Structure 1
Amino acid sequence: MKKWMSMLLAAGMALSLLTACGGNTGDSSTADGTSDASGEEAPKIVLISNQKSGDLGPVDAMFEGAARAEADFGVTVKTMEVTDAASYEEEIRAMGKEGYDLILTTFSPMTEATKAVAADYPDVKFAAIFQNINVDGETYANVWDTEYRGEECTYVTGAIAATLSESGVLGYISGDEASGVCEAASGFMQGALSVNPDVDVKFMSVNSYEDPAKAKEIANAMIAEGVDAIQTDAGNSQIGVIEAANKAGIYVSGDVSDNSALCPNGFYAYMGIDFGENVYQAIKYFVEDSFPGGEHGYMNIASGTYYVDLTLLDALAEALPEKAETIAAAREVGEKAIEAIQNGEIEVVHDIEPPSMDRVRNY
């Protein structure tokens, strides 16, 4: 792909010279793998999502990442939405038959279909977003799959929460107890303990990502037990937690999106995930001939995929001037934690077992 990129740049320079001299360059296109002005065939890239766009979340972010790659690398990325699980393999295979050079698929429901087609098209590159393929002794030389590690992000929010807390009792409310949730809750506990070795973190699961009412009940019960800062990891259920925090006047951190409008005097952070960066990186690796096929990648703070928006603390300090000093200290703690994670000074333990403060204390 480096050759194609070099040819594209050279063609662009030649085109500029011809235009300046009044030359007639004719018509050319790089869409759908057709030839560019240099005569070199442009790469064919497709992003296949198993969820619909318009979600103001991961899929929209992925499509944005593809658009950013188009602008930066001069490629064209076809986007598809295939929501019928029975059609995953058929649609992916159709792209292989059509001669696509890079096929990106999304989330674990597409894993088996991606593996099946990748095995039959060894010359095609596959980027498996948020999937586990090159693991447990399996290796697909033409597949780069990426795992998301949220525990680094929650380490930061846990450290901030422990700094903000007056009671020393924090809460973590999740949608379920899947491994990804457990590792994130463990990360929160680790971050909190880094600030206050005597802190306590209460963990509860709603057992649903779509039950704000139950989540609110759990949050209110925690608040009654002295919890004054809660981290959510519960999808739509988080709304109930945030509402309870707003009414009780305590701190709360959300998951994935900024819901500070629901709790302007207490919403201090959220676990930001930029799925678009993963898509952008895959396309960048491909066009630069550095595609990490056969590797299992990790998306985390260091990769720029996860982030904590510390500016929310600035807004909180303005809303709560009487607590501005504590909030400023919390922001500094967050900044230092992010920097230490990025440079390797802090290595957050990856723990997928059900969250336990006793176990985390003994890491």
Structure 2
Amino acid sequence: MFKHGTTVAVAFVLAVLLTACGGAPATPAAPANTDAPVATEPFKVAVVMPSAETDLAWSQAMIDALRSIQAEMGGEEAMQISISENMFNVTDAAAALRDYASAGNQLVIAHGTQYGTSMFEVARDFPEVSFAWGTATDTGEAEGFTNVFSYNASAEEGGYVNGVIAAMLSTSNIVGIVGPVEAGDAKAYIDGFEQGVLSMKPDATVNKTYTGSFGDTAAAAEAANTHIAAGADVLTGSAQQVVGAIGVAKERGALWLGTQSSQASLAPDIVVATQLYDWTGVLKDIIAKIQAGTLGGTAYDLTLENGGLKIVFNSEFPGVTPEMQAAVDTAIQGISSGTITVLP
């Protein structure tokens, strides 16, 4: 056994010496695995909003779209979302925008026109970061910006369709509108709604109230009470304030038509339909552009034709008739084809 072991050891040493002197070919190195996944950093997006992410209106529509894209991309490992909600104070919002730009976010969203001035100031200081804001159409191109996107909603289109529904539902021929600030997509929605009602019932009465606030639920509730006392049996309204109005409508038996995000969960028996803002397509295109190296310059618009605006009936509301669905389909087709012109 000892002699055999010595022979093996000597043979091993000779083999090593031969290899070192080039007497035997070296074993080739294993080829690199070119199919191995390449580690990538997640796409980072931050959003500053004037209300809660669960406001059933303006802010929630944006968050729902971001969450949907995050899930489609593969979760938090693929996309990170940072949120600053209830940013009523514009100065605080400006600080948040700057902090997010400094923190390595590739996209910073200023979700409110009140943030526009601050957003452009921050965007100028961070030309390598993309910014988006709305509802607006200005990308700052005239001022030399190349890193700003804007987004708008042609809310008058869905407002018109909701007005058609309201006219068909109303037995008193009186409808009430609870508006926030008389500007932007809120005013466009209300103007379109009134036009839709009168297209079906030219003799109908459309009463409008602007509370002067996006978030004053008490003022919205008071406006709803006033409209119902004046005979309105169908109401609508815009912005996060509407939860106050919907509560009153539920208590007093009036019907409700919503916009921006579905409010059916608040009162499934009286919320008939909603014009939904679907920002998913806009955000997907923005992200794709950023990843391809284009940091801004595009202005987007949600419409019924491109699917950014959707009219969705509440499945729990029992009063939707085939005639109503047909009227809605006709209105959508007419607006999309241009045979119906809705003036914001």
Q: Do the structures match in fold with TM over 0.5?
A: yes
- Higher alpha-carbon deviation: 144-153 or 122-131: 122-131
CA distance in 2, matches of 1:213, 1:92: 33
CA distance in 1, matches of 2:326, 2:68: 30
> Shift of residue 185 of structure 1?
0.9
Structure 1 segment 1-363 matched on structure 2, within 5 A: 25-26=35-36, 28-32=38-42, 45-51=43-49, 55=54, 57-68=60-71, 70-71=73-74, 76-82=78-84, 84-88=92-96, 90-94=98-102, 102-107=106-111, 108-119=113-124, 125-134=130-139, 137-138=142-143, 140-236=145-241, 238-287=242-291, 293-310=296-313, 312=314, 315-317=316-318, 327-350=321-344
> Shift of residue 65 of structure 1?
4.2
The answer (yes or no) to whether the contact 1:142–1:294 under 8 Å persists in 2 is: yes
CA distance in 2, matches of 1:162, 1:55: 30
SS of equivalent to 1:218 = helix
Aligned residues with identical type, % of pairs: 23
Corresponding position of 2:25: none
SS of equivalent to 1:259 = coil
> Shift of residue 132 of structure 1?
4.7
CA distance in 2, matches of 1:182, 1:114: 23
Given residue 249 of structure 1, which amino acid in structure 2 is its aligned partner? G
CA distance in 2, matches of 1:210, 1:121: 31
1:279-338, CA deviations, whole angstroms, 9 ceiling, x for partnerless residues? 22312344567x59433322233333322212x2x5333xx5xxx6xx332222112222
1:81-120, CA deviations, whole angstroms, 9 ceiling, x for partnerless residues? 356435345335425xx6x7x5242323553454345445
TM-score, reference length from structure 1 = 0.69
The answer (yes or no) to whether the contact 1:173–1:206 under 8 Å persists in 2 is: yes
SS of equivalent to 1:166 = coil
Can you give the 5+ residue segments of structure 2 that lack an aligned partner in the other structure? 1-32
> Shift of residue 26 of structure 1?
4.5
1:221-273, CA deviations, whole angstroms, 9 ceiling, x for partnerless residues? 3223222211122423x233323333433322134343335544432112322
- C-alpha root-mean-square deviation of aligned residues, in Å? 3.5
Given residue 229 of structure 1, which amino acid in structure 2 is its aligned partner? V
CA distance in 2, matches of 1:218, 1:279: 35
The answer (yes or no) to whether the contact 1:118–1:124 under 8 Å persists in 2 is: yes
SS of equivalent to 1:203 = strand
The answer (yes or no) to whether the contact 2:94–2:119 under 8 Å persists in 1 is: no
CA distance in 1, matches of 2:221, 2:122: 44
Q: How many residues align?
A: 300
CA distance in 1, matches of 2:80, 2:265: 36
The structure richer in helix per residue is 1
